[in-house]
Amino acid sequence: MFRATIHGLPFGNRARHLSRVEPRQELVLIPDPPGPIEDVWVHLVAGDPLGHLPREIARWLAPWMRSGGSTRARVLKVGDETVPSWKRLIIEVKCVS
C-alpha cells in the first residue's frame, strides 16, 4: 500500500472533474502499453481521466499490473485551486496479487 499525488491535472481540462471527487471515492488505475515511457493513468470509475501517477511509481507499477497484478485506489484528499496542481489530488493504492 502507498500514497501518491496525481500529476497532469491541468492538461486536457482534466481538473474539471475534481468537483465530482470526494474522499474515500474509488478510482481506476490503467497502465499504458509497454513503451519508452511508463505511465499509470488514474480515472474516475465512470471513465473520465484525472491524470497519472508519478513516473517513479509508474516505472515499477505499470509492468507489474500488465503482468497480472491488480490495484485498488481511493481518494484521500482533494484540494482546491489554491493548491499546486501536482498536490491537489492525493490517493491511496493497494496492490493486490
Helix (H, G, I), strand (E, B) or coil at 63: helix
Instruction: For residue 4, give the C-alpha cell.
Output: 501518491
| Chain segment 14-32, per-residue pLDDT in tens | 778 888 899 999 999 999 9
| Chain segment 69-86, per-residue pLDDT in tens | 999 999 999 988 888 778
Give the number of other Cβ atoms within 10 Å of residue 6's Cβ: 26
Q: Where are the beta strands (DSSP E) in 32-69?
A: 40-44, 49-52
Q: Provide the 8-state DSSP code for 46.
A: T
Is the distance from CB of 74 to CB of 51 less than 8 angstroms?
A: no
Task: Write down all domains in the chain, each with its CATH number in brackets.
Answer: 2-96 (3.30.70.2330)
> In the prediction, which pLDDT does 46 show?
93
Helix (H, G, I), strand (E, B) or coil at 40: strand
pTM: 0.89
